[in-house]
Structure formats: structure tokens, C-alpha cells
Amino acid sequence: MKKVFKIGFLVIGFIIIAIAGILGYVSWGLPNVGPAPEITIHATPAMIERGQYLANHVMVCIDCHSTRDYSLFAAPPITGTEGKGGEVFDQRLGFPGKFTAKNITPSALSSWTDGEIYRAITSGVSKDGHALFPVMPYSYYGTMDTQDIYAVIAYLRTLSPIENTPEASKPDFPMNFIINTIPQKASPSPRPNTDDLLALGKYLTTSAACMECHTKAEKGQKIEGMEFAGGFEFKIPGFGLLISPNITPDKETGIGTWTKEAFIARFKTYRDSTYHSPKVPKGEFQSIMPWTMYAGMKEQDLGAIYTYLMSLKPIKNKIEKFKPEIASK
């Protein structure tokens, strides 16, 4: 009997050591995406213009890295806060910890090399080597054309410096271990020609990370086979529960009956000179979709996105887009 107990203790000890070893590796050996590339970006006016377009109207980096006014519909960024950071994504919103958008103006990035910024955007690893939580969808950005990411970096260098130091992000357990396994090396692909609308639409849809918000998730994992069918839940304190719509070409529950013109107009409405984001009283329908920013996308690009979405498999998934009854929770 003593021998059995001894073996049992040895097994338990081995398991404890193995777990400690795994956790140690995850904590100190990961993320492992390699060093930041040694690059120097020689910005041109055309490159900066491209970066401004991507950062404001496609990837919408400026949306999350500014101060958003949630008293207005779609919570547009407040003028003068572009890039200062500070937006909080925490447990109240359903996140496994408290994560903050960082300052991406030259005030904070002046000590970063172009390669360090590139690695952060495309692989999710900060200057000091720690993993970034993928509320910034770096897995999507990592597939973009290298020159497009260079353009974004060139544009960020032109932002007005703003002194602001958001508090450090703090993942909950076990995300404080899991987060280190998420970053991956970038796998860039060339930007398609503008005459290939299907390929261009896929590229832009990926760059805008549309699937990230328009796919239902359970326990942080996207449900396979439900891509773009909506159902992702966003808790908006003070307003309610927003549920992303189905954007597959299903004719009953998606956008299958939409024309390209109607799709483009849905975005461009928010670009009209007469449009002003209305006030949204607490408990009423609010959207986190940055309509006013996506509205600045070129009509050709919006049309390409429509072409790609209409090529997807239709998925029947009826969505109740808003539940105000939980607004007080």
C-alpha cells in the first residue's frame, strides 16, 4: 500500500512539475514571433494619404485609439483626441480583464522604431515584448499588404502629439497566460488590383475585420460555420445589449435582397454634409459600429466589399439587434 501511495505522490509531483513547466514557458517563452524587423519607412505624401485613409476609414485605428462620445449615435471620436488612447475594454463589456487602447500619437511612439510598430500592428507584440490582447484585430492586419501597414505607420507619425498615458492592461486569470499564445507571425499578402472586385472586397473586408464583429462567439471562440452571420454580443453599459447583424447574402435574415447601391448608400448616409450624429438617451438603441468613419470609404471599395459579401454562403440566422432591458445591469 505504501508503494502505491509513493507512486501516486510521484505521479502527482510529476504532473505539478509539468504544469509549472508549461506555465513557465507560456509566461516567459511566449509570445515568440521573432524580433521586430529592422525597417525604416521613407514616407511620401502619397503614402501618408493612403495611411490616413486606412487608419480612419478601413482599419479604423483612430476609432478605438481616440475618445469616443457615447452620448451620440455610433459614438464618433471627439475632435482633438485622435490617437490619444484610453478607450477601456473591460469586464463590464464582457472582456476577460481590463484592456486599454494605447496612445499612438508621436508623443508615445517617438521611442518606437518603425519595425516595432509594424510588429505590434501585425503580430500583437508590444515594444517590450509583451502580448497585446486581440481587441485590436492584429491577426487580420497581419495578412495585409506590407506597404499598406507601412502607410499606416507613416500616417501615425504625422498625428498631433498628445500627452496621455493610459493605464496598463490587466488580463484576468487564465487569460493572463492564454494571451501569450495568441500572437503569430505576420503573413502578408499583396493588395489586389482594383479591377478584381471580388479579391479586393475580400482584402478590404479582412482589413476592416468585419468577420470579427459579425460572427457569433462562445467563450471567446468564433462558432465555425457561422462566419459573417451575426450574433456577436456587445454590452453597452447604460444602453443595453447590441447584437451584430447577419451580413451573409441570406435573403430572409441577411443582406441577400440588398442592391449594391443600397449597400453603399447605407454607409454614405453618414458622410452627407447634412448628417449630424443625434443624441441617444440611455436605454435606447446605440451602435458601436463606427458608421461616421466607415462612411469615408471610397464607393469603389464599399462596392468591392459588397461583391465579396454577396459571394459568401447564405446563412439563415435571424438577429434581435438590441435588448434594452438589460441596460441597467
With CA atoms as reference, report the closest residue to 99 among 213, 175, 25. 175
**Domain end point (choices 191, 226, 242):** 191
Q: Is residue 79 domain-shared with residue 114, that is, in the same domain?
A: yes
Phi, psi of 240 (to 5 degrees): 150, -155
Q: What is the pLDDT of residue 18?
A: 45
Q: Is residue 143 domain-shared with residue 257, that is, in the same domain?
A: no
Domain assignment of residue 20, yes or no: no
Cell of residue 202, nine digits: 475580400
**Do 211 and 143 meet the contact criterion of CB atoms below 8 Å apart?**
no
Looking at residues 303-323, what average pLDDT do you find? 97
The H-assigned helical ranges of 88-242 are 106-109, 114-123, 138-141, 146-156, 175-178, 197-207, 210-213
Beta strands per DSSP E along 170-321: 170-171, 217-218, 221-222, 233-236, 240-243
Report the percent of the chain where pLDDT is more than 90.
85
**How many CB atoms are closer than 10 A to CB 255?**
22
Q: What is the pLDDT of residue 109?
A: 98
Instruction: Report the Cα 271 to chain-centroid distance in Å.
Output: 22
d(CA 63, CA 55): 9
d(CA 245, CA 231): 6
Q: Is residue 200 domain-shared with residue 178, that is, in the same domain?
A: no
Q: Is residue 213 domain-shared with residue 116, that is, in the same domain?
A: no
d(CA 143, CA 141): 5
Q: What is the pLDDT of residue 272?
A: 86
Q: Is residue 112 domain-shared with residue 239, that is, in the same domain?
A: no
**Domain end point (choices 162, 191, 220):** 191
Which amino acid belongs to residue 300? Q
Q: What is the pLDDT of residue 63?
A: 96
Quote the crossing angle between the two packed helices 146-156 and 45-53, to the nearest 10°: 90
DSSP at 276: -
Domain assignment of residue 8, yes or no: no
**Domain end point (choices 191, 222, 256):** 191
Q: Is residue 319 domain-shared with residue 206, that is, in the same domain?
A: yes
**How many CB atoms are closer than 10 A to CB 167?**
9
241-296 tens-digit pLDDT: 999 999 999 999 999 999 999 999 999 999 988 899 999 999 999 999 999 999 99
Q: Buried (b) or exposed (e) across 11-44, using 16+ Cβ within 10 A? A: eeeeeeeeeeeeeeebeeebbebeebeeeebebe
d(CA 64, CA 290): 9
The SS3 assignment for 103 reads coil
Domain assignment of residue 119, yes or no: yes
With CA atoms as reference, report the closest residue to 194 among 267, 300, 299. 300
Q: Is residue 61 domain-shared with residue 173, that is, in the same domain?
A: yes
254-264 tens-digit pLDDT: 999 999 999 99
Q: What is the pLDDT of residue 308?
A: 98
Q: Is residue 199 domain-shared with residue 321, that is, in the same domain?
A: yes
Q: How confident is the model at residue 6 (pLDDT cuts 50, 70, 90)?
A: low
Domain span at residue 90 reads 37-191
Domain assignment of residue 6, yes or no: no
198 pLDDT more than 60: yes
Q: What is the pLDDT of residue 274?
A: 87
Q: Is residue 48 domain-shared with residue 180, that is, in the same domain?
A: yes
165-185 tens-digit pLDDT: 999 999 999 999 999 999 999
Q: Alpha-carbon Rg of the chain, whole angstroms?
A: 22
The total domain count for the chain is: 2
pTM: 0.91
The H-assigned helical ranges of 230-310 are 260-268, 291-294, 299-309
Please, what is the end-to-end C-alpha distance for the chain in angstroms?
A: 55
Q: Is residue 171 domain-shared with residue 291, that is, in the same domain?
A: no
d(CA 130, CA 140): 19
Q: What is the pLDDT of residue 7?
A: 58
Q: Is residue 176 domain-shared with residue 75, that is, in the same domain?
A: yes
